[in-house]
Structures are given as C-alpha cells and as structure tokens.
Structure 1
Amino acid sequence: METVSHFKYLGSIVREDRKCEQDIKTRLGMARTILGKMKTLWKNRNISTQTKIRLVKALIWLVATYRCKSWILTKTLMKKIESCEVVSYRRAMKIPWTAKLTNEEFLQRAHETRNLLTSVTSRKQRYFGHMMRRECLEKDVILGRVPGKRGHGRPKR
C-alpha cells in the first residue's frame, strides 16, 4: 500500500495536511459550471426572479456546500463563498458585473441577504454538536483524547 498526499473520496478531495482550500475551490467551480449550463432557464422571462432565486438555493448551493461540515474556513475562503453566492444571484437575475452595482445594492434589489456562509457555519456547528453527543473515534480526535492511562508521579522528561 502506498502513501499519498491527497485522494478523491465521494467527489471531494481529502488531503494529508487537512487543508480544504482545493476542495472548496473545486466545489464552487462545480457550482458555477452548473450555473452556466442553466443559462436558458435564467433567460426565460416567464419564470419570476423569486423562483429563480429559489432554484439557485435548491440546485446550485447543494453542489457548492457538499461536505461543508468538515471544511476549515479562513477569511479568504469565506470571501470566496460569499462571492460565489452573489455571482449566482447575479447570473440568475441577468445582471452583469458591468452594471456598476455594489453587492449590497444588488442584494437589496433582490430582497435577499447573504445566507450561504451562515448556512455553512450553522451546519458545521450542528455537526460538532452531533459529534459531542456520540462516543466515537471522531470525538476522541476532536477532544485530543489518547487511549490508555498516565503513569503516577512526575514525568521522566
């Protein structure tokens, strides 16, 4: 058996150093390609903007947030998640980036708030609470438990 630094498991990339930047970037890229493939749906004038926004939340965010419970989020990754959310809204509502609208103005016009990052963090917190209620190896790893007993007295070193 050979040792590898990363591998793909169930569509997500697992790395030896536990960094998930590559996994998050590929997930957001997958979401954007699906968003691009649905161009005919976004151009349809018979569908209301609220229905389009609901479709984005149901179809695009599902792909973008797969296995988000185990992500380690940094500030740059949080910004990427928020930008993916705004880009998906803009494409669904057919508003180009050349329209000179700030993200806040655009979200007010769409009657939406930033929800993707808050849903990711709430999923992470729910998963942590789930792990703390169980007795399993993951809980031991999170809490840093080591099996066995310590010896009595002062350590030798």
Structure 2
Amino acid sequence: MKTVLTNKNISIRTRRRALECYIEPILMYGCEAWTISKQTQKKLEATEMWFLRRMLRISWTAKKTNDTVLEEAHTTRLLISKIRKRQATFFSHVMRREKLENLVTTGMLEGKCSRGKQREKLIEGLTDWLKAGKSLEAIEATKDRKKWRTMIANAVKQGT
C-alpha cells in the first residue's frame, strides 16, 4: 500500500480513504477487548501521525508540528475515538447478553485478586470516556439502547 498512500498524483482525500479502508482495520483488529492506558493511547496517536506523515512525505527530521500535519491532511485525530466507539458498542452487546462474557468483562468473578496493582478493566476505561460517573451507571445505561447511543454520541462529539 506504500505506493498508493505516498502517490502525489492521488488526492489526499482518496489516500486517507484508502488508509481508513485497508490499514486501520488491521491496526484496530481486536480493539474491542483492549484496555487503553495513557501509554497505549500515546502510541496509537503516534502511529496515526506516522501514517499521515508518510502519506504526505514529511520527513521525521522536518520541524513540523502535529497540528500542521493535520491541517495539511485536512483531518483531525480520529483513531482513539473510533476505537472507543467500537469498544462501547461491544461492551453494550456483552452487557445485554448476561452470560459468562458479562461476568468476565465487568470483573465480577469469584476468587482472590492477585498481588500488586490490579489491572485496569475495560469498564473503567469506558466510564471515564463516557463520563458516566460510576461503572454501575454505565452498565444500567446499556439496557436502554437509546440512552446508550446518546451517551456514545456525546462522548464522540467531545473528542476525548
């Protein structure tokens, strides 16, 4: 895909569309189950900017800020919000099923916790993104599809 994405004869809009259709699905494979920490988020944002810089043939030694690169590409950062949206739809699907996946996703399995700092759960990352307050509020909101969709739409609009 390098020859297509870096071809100056193809418009930037078409190249961006090719990136979204062919590269991003490979990058986001299985993202519904990821827990995105600050470090992971930074790496994903850096990857997104790397793709744009390669498409525009901007060298990494060129002193261009990410904002100017985004302006040249006529776009904004969308990767994290796409991933969060996919996670939210997957999460609501799992919560409505009320099977074993529900228990695993919420972390409400019986047994002892392991030593050390506990890993962040998917639900904790989603409640922060949706600004739902508590995780129980998010779980209850999944039962009402209309309310859940508006929560997701509001979070995507805020761009966090």
- TM-score bracket, normalised by the shorter chain, equals 0.5 to 0.7
Residues 64-143 of structure 1 mapped to structure 2, 5 A cutoff: 64-143=27-106
Q: Distance in 2 between matches of 1:62 and 1:45?
A: 24
TM superposition score normalised by structure 2: 0.63
Q: Percent identity?
A: 39
Q: Displacement of 1:140 after TM fit?
A: 2.1
Q: Shift of residue 105 of structure 1?
A: 1.4
- Larger Cα-atom Rg: 1
Query: What does residue 157 of structure 2 align with?
Result: none
The Cα offsets for residues 73-108 of structure 1, whole Å up to 9 and x where unpaired, read as 110110000010011011112121222110011102
Contiguous gaps of at least 5 residues in structure 2: 111-160
Structure 1: gaps (5+ residues): 1-37, 147-157
Structure in which a larger fraction of residues adopt strand: 1
Higher deviation after alignment, 108-117 or 89-98:
89-98
Contact 1:56 1:92 in 2 (8 A): no
Number of residues of Structure 1 aligned to a counterpart in Structure 2: 109
Q: State the superposition RMSD in angstroms.
A: 1.5
TM-superposed CA distance for 1:141, in Å, is 2.4
In the alignment, residue 86 of structure 1 is paired with which amino acid? M
Instruction: Give me the whole-angstrom Cα distance separating, in 1, the residues matched to 2:20 and 2:105.
Output: 31
**Preserved contact between residue 6 and residue 54 of structure 2 (Cα < 8 Å):** no
